[in-house]
Amino acid sequence: MSSWTQTTFAPPIPAARKWLDGVTFSPDRPLINLSQAVPADPPPLALQEVMAEALKDPETHLYGPVLGLPSLRETLAQSWSGFYAAPVRPDQIAITAGCNQAFTATIAALCGAGDEVILPVPWYFNHKMCLDMSGVIAKPMSLGADLLPDPDIAKSLISPRTKAILLISPNNPTGVEYPPALLHSFFELARDHGLKLIIDETYRDFHSGTDPVHDLLKQADWDQTLIQLYSFSKSFRMTGHRTGAIFANAKFLAEVEKYLDTTTICAPTLGQTSAEWGLRNLTDWLADQRQDLIDRRAAIETHFPKLAAKGWRLQGVGAYFAWVTHPFAESADRLAPKLVTEAGVLLLPASMFMPEGDPNAPRAFRVAFANVNAVGIAEFTERLASLDWPLAGA
């Protein structure tokens, strides 16, 4: 038996959770779970009250427009236009059931079996899984020590079957924020070769900089080249309500509509109503959440020297994630289950974000620190620093 799903690997998060089976943690040394980028807290109380009230509206329980509620698309267009200081129209927006669906719908509308998409390594595993199950070839793009992609390397990977270049900024899994000039260079590369530049901006609201993250919406006919993906899940703590968005050319979104109509039909109405209210009312609250994430990033940087002294390296950090390399003889995929039992720490090894056999995979882990406060981050680094496992080359 063969199927499209059998062309790809099992979801990494559920696989990692199996390492917890049968393991108990004492109250004075609980598990520190750094495996998944998901807010543990519920939405703010005011938004919960809006949700409860929305449940009384009969429209909440019905199908809605395939491309999203008009009021949300209008509000999001206004918000996006203000953020980027460039005009965005409602007909350039589609609302999806989360950002993962935004990506799968984009690939379905853009690619056929045998086409190619260039993506940096390490990649977000669900992107790779989607490409596999669509019969689309993922062309791995290696990064430098700074974990930034190089337009020249991307250019060398372009073939007649290439349809798009995919970037994530701030990045999942490395946390690295791509400079505006670099994103502009990729936009020009894609435009000059008739490709789409897909930028997943799920973590945009937690960017550490104060300047606009890029100027791409100010470019003439930006929607002929650029496709932006967005998520409300992290910003408003509503991961279970599955609300995301695609920003693209209106004609392209007509193709996206075909995909959406045959999968979810529409994004959940409750999530859309909540997202619209959040855009209108949670600006200050979201700014506080952003600062909290910036503070947690600073805690990683503050406490990492004790790990650096033991041979660990902080290769990238930002938004929700850090990318670290370890000094031990065993590979990260073998060490990850041992970290659970011997250190009470759950991390994902780099092999879950890289092609099989990538020489960098044995050395690295992703640290998803958004749900651990400064005290937990200090404890996490203490636990790793105390490990006395055999070192590489010893």
Phi (first) and psi of residue 176, to 5 degrees: -65, 135
Res. 246: pLDDT tops 60: yes
- pLDDT class for 1, splitting at 50, 70, 90? very low
Res. 26: pLDDT tops 50: yes
d(CA 75, CA 174): 31
Instruction: Give the H or E element holding residue 342.
Output: helix 332-343
* Predicted local distance difference test score (pLDDT) of residue 110: 98
Q: Give pLDDT tens digits for 300-338.
A: 999 999 999 999 999 999 989 999 999 999 999 999 999
* Predicted local distance difference test score (pLDDT) of residue 2: 81
- Average pLDDT for 197-217: 92
CA-wise closest residue to 119 among 146, 87, 143: 143
Q: Give pLDDT tens digits for 73-90.
A: 999 999 999 999 999 999
Res. 242: pLDDT tops 50: yes
- pLDDT class for 394, splitting at 50, 70, 90? low
Task: Let me know how many helices (H) and strands (E) the chain has, helices first.
Answer: 13, 13
d(CA 163, CA 118): 8
Measured from the Cβ of residue 207, the count of other Cβ atoms closer than 10 Å reads 19
The proportion of the chain whose per-residue pLDDT surpasses 70, expressed as a percent, equals 99
Measured from the Cβ of residue 131, the count of other Cβ atoms closer than 10 Å reads 25
For the chain, what is the mean pLDDT? Answer: 95
* Predicted local distance difference test score (pLDDT) of residue 117: 98
Tokens of 346: 């759950």
- pLDDT class for 277, splitting at 50, 70, 90? very high
Say if residues 182 and 212 touch (Cβ distance below 8 Å). no
* Predicted local distance difference test score (pLDDT) of residue 392: 87
For residue 260, what are the CA distances in angstroms to 109, 177, 199?
A: 10, 30, 20
Q: Give pLDDT tens digits for 170-195.
A: 999 999 999 999 999 999 999 999 99
* Predicted local distance difference test score (pLDDT) of residue 209: 86
d(CA 9, CA 138): 14
Q: Which residue has the higher pLDDT, 270 or 370?
A: 270
Domains with residue ranges and CATH for the chain: 4-42+285-386 (3.90.1150.10), 62-282 (3.40.640.10)
